[in-house]
Structure 1
Amino acid sequence: MVQEKTTPEDLQHRYARAVSLHEQGELARAIALYEELVREVPDGDLIHYNLGLAYYDHQQYGRAGSCFSRAAAINDQEADYWYNLGLSRKQEERYPEAVSAYGRALRLRPDDRETLYNLGCCCKDCGALDHAVEVYEHLLELDPGYIPALNNLAYIVHLQGDLRRAESLYQAILESAPEHINAGYMAAALGGEQPAAPPQAYVRDLFDSYSQDFEGNLVEDLAYQVPERLWQLFNQGPRRERYDYLLDLGCGTGLCGVHFRPCCHYLEGVDLSGRMIARAREKGLYDSLVEGELLSHLQRTTPGFDLVIAGDVCIYLGDLAPLMATIAARGSREVQFCFSVEAFQVKGQGKGQGWELRPSGRYGHSYDYILDLARQSGLSLCGFEQTWLRQERGKAIDGFLFFLGRA
């Protein structure tokens, strides 16, 4: 039996059907039909491209990238093929490949705002900060009011230590978008204002964006050592062999949880960042993980927890009185609290408020301030260490480690 040859009309009909299914959200059916078509028309760049779009919408970014790459190999003069290849590689965190794809797109479509912005983001995410600055500056020459580019540029120059320029950029954002939470907070920090705590949205956005490279950046690049040093301090103090209920506040990806897991029956982590929670879940350390604000969680969680840890959490809180009082009020009769702060040495005769918001956007706390709060909450000092917490631009960040317990 002779198989009938597929006609151009039939191909066009099935292609239109695949596009219609795609538009209706029937991704699996659209993908199956596109796959049939690319087998029959392997040099059909537009079919490969639409198949890539369907895979991308289905969050299968590796397959999407392969389709866009094939489309670009057939027709390398179509900017959208390169642009979407960049998007796919960005989703896979294959940033150098994304940068290369965006570069090809820009050669075909110079000065495209979206391509420039995504290129800058990929340069930032892979650590090519100087290149990112150049890209964002070029984009802002074309469109001075492009707020996401302004915000990312402000973040980078702030990270690089150019505080004056960073403050100017944050102020430029606020002129166009007065409600911009992150810019408002960082402008306050650089301008010497002293809010008692950052907006929750600022902390959530910060750590959501930081979650992918959090451990590698902290441990490998910044020589972060708070979890290990807290564990050592804890073991030198009047600790119990086993705890019933341990709360890991601001658990992040679980760096402290790794050390403290063996000493408790039940380990609960809480963090504002959903992406950090997802990373912590991958470790399989925690009996429960909660996405939420720390103080609110303490106030509604089951009372009677007997150990609380907080590694590099209080640096994102100014006034620690509510936190300390809530731990003491809702913890067990023998509750203990192990945590770190950035060291703040109060100058002059007066004690002042005992904490300060720094240009970094983090808070420092004084030794006397922590002890005063502990006494007010019925807690006493079980252990203390003055040390450095991490490196920042080649300098050590000094800190205090505290181990407190019920008096």
Structure 2
Amino acid sequence: MSKYTISNDVLTQELQRIGSLIATRQLPQAAQALNDARKRFGADSRIFLLASRLAEQAGNPDGALQAARQALTAAPGWQVAEMELAMLLLRQGKPADALVHARRGVSFAPDDLSVVSRAAGIAIQANDLPTTVAWLRKLVELKPDDYDYRSLLAKQLLAADEAEEAMNMYNELVQEQPWDTETLSGRARAALALGQLAQAKQDAEALVQLEPSNSSHQHVLALARGEQPTTLPEDEIKARFDSAASTFDQTLWRELQYRVPQKAADILLQAHPDRKFNLLDLGCGTGLVGLCVGRIDGYIIGVDLSEEMIRKAAQHGVYERFHTVNVLDALRNTPTDHYEAITCCDVLVYVGDLSEVIPNALRILKPGGHFIFSCESASEDEEDLVLRPTSRFAHKASAVRKWCESAGFEDIQIELLPQLRLEAGEPLPGFLVTARKSQSAH
């Protein structure tokens, strides 16, 4: 139970007034009122929380963080202060630190629906699947009839490879709201995971009938029919990365130990020590390649499906402009002999089929230009292109070399990477390709 109680009605009314000033962006007036409140009422935790909100509104993230920590010091054990600090840390791109305080908040108020709900949202953003599932279970326990909580739990159970439990939940949810396409899609995917192809096919056909233009439904139907898709649905990729944008850098760099952008940047700067080149960064995401390359005597163009990712990439200030378009359309619509370099890091795992990618990359490169891209590894005894249960494609290195040679690339270097990044805590093998267009090509 919280050790902090709100007892000062006069202060409460004043803080509500100050909160309205902050909400309407009357920041100088709010700052003065907070100073006056501090003098009158002392170090009340709520004053610091409003000071944190004021600092954040004023564009002072360090001040916001300092005030949020002061709020916690003023009221140790108060779940509200813990959760406010957790949410602030999440907004500042520190999901791991946010999760620490979310756990404390839940420990102080384990049966508080609002606290557990916010904590579950933080766990989702932090990509902590076990904690997410645990807190969603708690939410369902606290509010067992809530459709949304059960639907979200079923989705996370499926992501955690608990397909049977997810299927049981989806069966109940579909009974309650058979028109909910998200739930029906979840059941179809759970059925696929369990090998129940007849059920998956039935649900996928119903989804296609309900939403015929939805490429994700078409994808699930193809899988249910035993077909092997050669690319992933565009809207699914966009949704995946829009939702991941806020914590993407933190997750990839720190938690998944992803270093391919730095490797690509090193290759580029070795090829262009004078930094005079133009770069097309396909699937730029949050701009890690641009960040690693830095400013150049040329321009960097970013391409990505996710507007949220592009918004993050723009903050680095190294990209000339961006295009919100898929990789294939970007390549098709780019003039011939246009760039000295193209990068495509951790992107072709979603594109899959490279039959258009590689020849078009060659076409738009200037003579002597480099195409640098990464793939997840399929073993030599697998097919050239394999769709993994993670909904990402793996490519066979020997096949990629063959495709590059057939397109006309030369000096093809393939660096095998025992750890492309971590996957469920284990090294995920992949490879990095550097292919050069002939100097005499035209």
1:32 corresponds in structure 2 to none
Q: Secondary structure at the match of 1:197?
A: coil
- The correspondence for 2:432, drawn from 397, 401, 404, is 401
Residue 398 of structure 2 corresponds to residue 365 of structure 1: no
Q: Secondary structure at the match of 2:346?
A: coil
Contact 1:190 1:359 in 2 (8 A): no
2:64 corresponds in structure 1 to none
Q: CA deviation at 1:244?
A: 3.0
Contact 1:250 1:270 in 2 (8 A): yes
Residue 288 of structure 2 corresponds to residue 255 of structure 1: yes
1:74 corresponds in structure 2 to none
Closer/same/farther in 2, CA of residues 134 and 91 from structure 1, 3 Å limit = closer
One-letter code aligned to 2:408: G
Q: CA deviation at 1:239?
A: 4.5
Q: CA deviation at 1:184?
A: 4.3
Residues in 2 aligned to 1:167 and 1:208: alpha-carbon distance in whole angstroms: 30
Closer/same/farther in 2, CA of residues 264 and 313 from structure 1, 3 Å limit = farther
One-letter code aligned to 2:435: L
Q: CA deviation at 1:318?
A: 2.6
1:13 corresponds in structure 2 to none
1:378 corresponds in structure 2 to 408
Partner deviation per Cα, 1:318-362 (whole Å, 9 max, x = no partner): 3213112112222222321111011223329xxx7x323333222
Q: How much identity, in percent, do the aligned residues show?
A: 26
Residues in 2 aligned to 1:101 and 1:366: alpha-carbon distance in whole angstroms: 39
Closer/same/farther in 2, CA of residues 166 and 247 from structure 1, 3 Å limit = farther
Closer/same/farther in 2, CA of residues 170 and 393 from structure 1, 3 Å limit = farther
Contact 2:366 2:437 in 1 (8 A): no
2:246 corresponds in structure 1 to 212
1:306 corresponds in structure 2 to 340
Residue 230 of structure 2 corresponds to residue 196 of structure 1: yes
Q: Runs of 5+ in structure 1 lacking a partner?
A: 1-27, 29-65, 67-81
Residues in 2 aligned to 1:361 and 1:387: alpha-carbon distance in whole angstroms: 21
- The correspondence for 1:266, drawn from 299, 307, 310, is 299
Contact 2:376 2:429 in 1 (8 A): yes
Q: CA deviation at 1:100?
A: 8.8
Q: CA deviation at 1:403?
A: 1.0
1:48 corresponds in structure 2 to none
Q: CA deviation at 1:394?
A: 3.3
1:76 corresponds in structure 2 to none
Residue 362 of structure 2 corresponds to residue 331 of structure 1: no
Closer/same/farther in 2, CA of residues 338 and 139 from structure 1, 3 Å limit = closer
Partner deviation per Cα, 1:49-87 (whole Å, 9 max, x = no partner): xxxxxxxxxxxxxxxxx9xxxxxxxxxxxxxxx99x79x
Q: Runs of 5+ in structure 2 lacking a partner?
A: 1-23, 25-79, 81-111, 125-130
One-letter code aligned to 1:297: A
Structure 1 segment 5-404 matched on structure 2, within 5 A: 111-114=145-148, 116-117=150-151, 138=169, 140-144=171-175, 145=178, 146-151=180-185, 163-164=193-194, 170-171=200-201, 173-178=203-208, 179=212, 181-186=215-220, 188=222, 193-234=227-268, 238-239=271-272, 241-303=274-336, 304-347=338-381, 354-381=384-411, 383-388=413-418, 389-404=420-435
Contact 2:154 2:169 in 1 (8 A): no
Q: CA deviation at 1:262?
A: 3.6
2:95 corresponds in structure 1 to none
2:67 corresponds in structure 1 to none
Partner deviation per Cα, 1:264-314 (whole Å, 9 max, x = no partner): 520110001122112212332311011111221223235511110010111
Q: Secondary structure at the match of 1:387?
A: strand
Contact 1:106 1:115 in 2 (8 A): no
Larger RCO, structure (CA 8 Å, separation 6 or more): 1
Closer/same/farther in 2, CA of residues 313 and 135 from structure 1, 3 Å limit = closer
Residues in 1 aligned to 2:250 and 2:196: alpha-carbon distance in whole angstroms: 25
Closer/same/farther in 2, CA of residues 172 and 278 from structure 1, 3 Å limit = farther
Residues in 2 aligned to 1:113 and 1:376: alpha-carbon distance in whole angstroms: 53
Partner deviation per Cα, 1:137-166 (whole Å, 9 max, x = no partner): 5564254434423545777x79xxx94369
Q: Secondary structure at the match of 1:328?
A: helix
Q: CA deviation at 1:221?
A: 2.9
Residues in 2 aligned to 1:205 and 1:214: alpha-carbon distance in whole angstroms: 13
Q: How many residues align?
A: 315
Q: Secondary structure at the match of 2:194?
A: helix
Contact 1:251 1:270 in 2 (8 A): yes
Q: Provide the TM-score with structure 1 as the length reference.
A: 0.62
1:52 corresponds in structure 2 to none
Contact 2:201 2:225 in 1 (8 A): no
One-letter code aligned to 1:371: R
Residues in 2 aligned to 1:135 and 1:355: alpha-carbon distance in whole angstroms: 29
Q: Secondary structure at the match of 1:259?
A: helix
Q: CA deviation at 1:399?
A: 0.9
